[in-house]
Structure 1
Amino acid sequence: MTDTVVAVVLAGGTGTRLYPASRSDRPKQFLPLGGDQSLLAETVDRAGFADEVYVLTRPDLADQVREHAPSAAVLTEPEPKDTGPALVYAAHRVREQVGDCTLVCLPSDHHVTGDFAGTMTDAAAVAAETGSLVTVGVEPTRPETGYGYIKPGEESATASGHAYYPVERFTEKPDQGAAMRYRHHGYYWNAGTFAWTPDAFLRAAADSELSPLVDALDAGDPQRGFDAVDPVSVDYAVMETTDDAALVPATFEWDDLGAWDAVSRVLDTDDDGNAVLGDALTVDAENTVVATDGHASVVGVSDLIVASYGDRTLVVPKDQAQRVRDVVDELGDDDLF
């Protein structure tokens, strides 16, 4: 067992549900959503408990990553194919460069407050001592339908006293009734944050649909490996199929900032429930999110999202924030980006 902990920060996505602020040349992780630093810079700072920090991104974003996270090493994957191939590639490359270690794998675009270092140090210890693939679970604060959930088994502990729960099953985004039941029965939100040793993770990936990538990386041909696999999340490809997943509960507050309605959860709101990001004016407005890189004014409205960046403006009911995906799909890459 090694004491070396390496943080791998995933920063290759776009965050399309935060359109129009997030675009392909200015993805969500480079935006300062309510803070002085970008989400990526904040994530790298939070990873300061690790012995080394890597940021994994796509080649066209590497220079921006270096600007936002100059203290981190940068890895570029051959092409973006979701978190499954990305984390296999990162585990293989870090093992080559660092040797025996424990990886903590972190999204670059989430909002976190509280004892993040403590939770991730515990998760790394459980991964190192048990050889399990550890996922960090967040205790639900509402019946959220936009997150995946994890059902924990009976509490256990490592020889050194670090508590964890074997994972009984992962579930995908539920409807409202199921989300209420999951919260009542002690399920956790899946925060997309993990800890494992490279050996344990690559063994599990070799028993999954990602095996051609593992084989190609072993042979020194990453491009062949990426060509041989389809885009797939690490949850689908590995975590939901392994028999050796464990959960460590988070001791921090978390939001994935996945859509515009999340802004009102992480920013201070006025007496009427309005959340403002940038230079905006609200008059007789209630429960509305206004976000802009210029100026926006809203009058006499309620329960809306108004986001205006550059030459693009989005208006959508707050309870339909997830439908920004429909706009992105309709516009298409050529018009959108």
Structure 2
Amino acid sequence: MDRPVIACVLAGGTGSRLYPASRSTRPKQFLPLVGERSLLSRTMDRTTFADERHVLTRESFADEIHEHAPEAGVLIEPDGKDTGPALVYAAWRLRDRFETEPVLVCLPSDHHVDDDAAFAARLERAAELAAETDGLVTLGVEPTRPATGYGYVVPDRTEFGEDSEYAAVERFTEKPDREEATRLLESEAYWNAGIFAWTPSALLREARDSPLAPLVDALEEGEPDRGFDAIDPASVDYAIMERASDVFVTPLSVAWDDLGTWDAVGRVLETDSDDAANRTVAGDALPIDASNNVVAAPGSHVSLLDVDDLIVAAFDDRILVAPRDSSQRVRDVVARLRDRDAF
């Protein structure tokens, strides 16, 4: 490809569903949840093909970024207003880095993939497709179960031929109930991984016809703070992708998971050697007639007796006990703690 490629890694969130490991001063992207290295460090390994790499984060995390991604540039969001404003801001900041307009490959810092080389190859191909189509390209993950915690991408299947690697997006569907997720799985929809490729001009073009238009106008006038003040928080899917005219999906045929919940962390961990049904993130666990539990308690011992399908997470002076199928609701705990200024 004759265009430079810039990798933009999003690392501005805290990861509230991984409380109490993740806290306001200890976001999940800096944690070694599935190995000895942090999620951010492992993500950066998958972007070495890019001509430049940048991490997009909030000001309070900026100093720590260099410990996990010393080779990356750091972009600081003026305000944390979800992925839509963040990615528009990144496109504006990065579009003039080269004489030829670059392609941006944008990905979260908290995902797990089984094959880094195959993943990187698909990112490179997505960048080529973004240059070829002048559109917005999203990577779709082939689902393995009717997950209700992920959004879905429905492709126009009439455009997928033997030689075609991508298709127009028919529609996006936000986190469905189990019945709808089952229908989507049967219809060969993809999980929406939140991994994108586009040129800055393509994203800014589509953002001008979206709720983020005031931000684009302010950025073009060199006033990012005013732009962020003028808009509400919005995901890039809701604000731009669902409304855009030139949106394409290309399959990501690599085992993938979003490490946003304790249930997801449990899925990707190696099976515990003492009990094949339990997963230990950190600490020491003794399961007796216990199965399918996730234990995260660094420096502690946890005995599990006659219990199944639990999360037991103990960090610092905080302990969380919850059913695994309530992983998404851990954010409710964090919301209550934030109300008490205790997160």
Aligned equivalents of 1:283 and 1:214: distance in 2? 54
Deviations 1:35-89 (A, max 9, x none): 1210001111111111110101011100111111000011111111100000000
For residues 185-235 of structure 1, the C-alpha deviation after alignment (integer angstroms, 9 at most, x for no partner) is 100000000000000010000110101111111111100000001110000
Are 1:145 and 2:148 an aligned pair?
Answer: yes
Residue 288 in structure 1 maps to residue 288 in structure 2: no
Report sequence identity in percent. 59
* Aligned match of 1:304: 310
1:18 aligns with 18
Other-structure match for 1:174: 176
Alignment RMSD (CA, Å): 1.6
List aligned pairs for 1:194-273, cutoff 5 A. 194-270=196-272, 271-273=275-277
What are the within-5 Å matches in structure 2 for residues 1-337 of structure 1?
2-99=2-99, 100-114=101-115, 115-154=118-157, 156=159, 163-270=165-272, 271-284=275-288, 285-300=290-305, 301-332=307-338, 335-337=341-343
Is residue 305–residue 317 contact of structure 1 (8 Å, CA) maintained in 2? yes
CA distance in 2, matches of 1:208, 1:239: 10
Hey, what's the Cα distance between the residues in 2 that align with 1:272 and 1:323? 26
**2: CA distance, partners of 1:258 / 1:49:** 26
- What whole-Å deviation, never above 9, does each CA across 1:288-322 have from its counterpart, x for those lacking one? 00002221312212111000011100000111111
Structure 1 moving runs of 4+ over 2 Å: 96-99, 154-158, 333-337
Deviation at 1:155, TM superposition (A): 5.9
> How far off its partner does 1:2 sit?
4.1
Contact 1:123 1:136 (C-alpha < 8 Å) held by counterparts = yes
Secondary structure of the corresponding residue to residue 334 of structure 2:
helix
Distance across 1 between alignment mates of 2:311 and 2:202: 43
C-alpha displacement at 1:162, in angstroms?
Answer: 6.2
Partner letter of residue 280 of structure 2?
V
Residues 201 and 157 (structure 1 numbering): CA distance in 2 closer, same or farther, change over 3 Å? Answer: farther
Conserved 8 A contact 1:137-1:190: yes
Contact 1:290/1:296 (8 A) holds in 2: no
Aligned mates of 2:303, 2:81 — CA distance in 1? 39
Matched residues in 2 for 1:265 and 1:72: separation?
A: 30
* Gap regions ≥5 residues in structure 1: none
For 2:286, the aligned partner's letter is T
**2:10–2:107 Cα contact (<8 Å) kept:** yes
CA contact (8 A) 1:279 1:296 kept: yes
Are the counterparts in 2 of residues 155 and 164 from structure 1 also a CA contact under 8 Å?
no
Task: Give the drift of 1:182.
Answer: 0.5
Q: Distance in 1 between matches of 2:341 and 2:276?
A: 36
Q: Displacement, 1:283?
A: 2.6
CA distance in 2, matches of 1:282, 1:193: 38
Which amino acid is 2:271 matched to? T
Question: Normalized against structure 1, the TM-score is what?
Answer: 0.96
Q: Secondary structure at the match of 1:141?
A: coil
In the alignment, the residues of structure 2 paired with residue 85 and residue 326 of structure 1 have an alpha-carbon distance, to the nearest angstrom, of: 24
CA–CA separation in structure 2 for the residues paired with 1:335 and 1:77: 23
Equivalent pair of 2:142/2:253 in contact (CA under 8 Å): no
Q: Which runs of 5+ in 2 are unaligned?
A: none
Instruction: Report how many aligned residue pairs link the two structures.
Output: 335
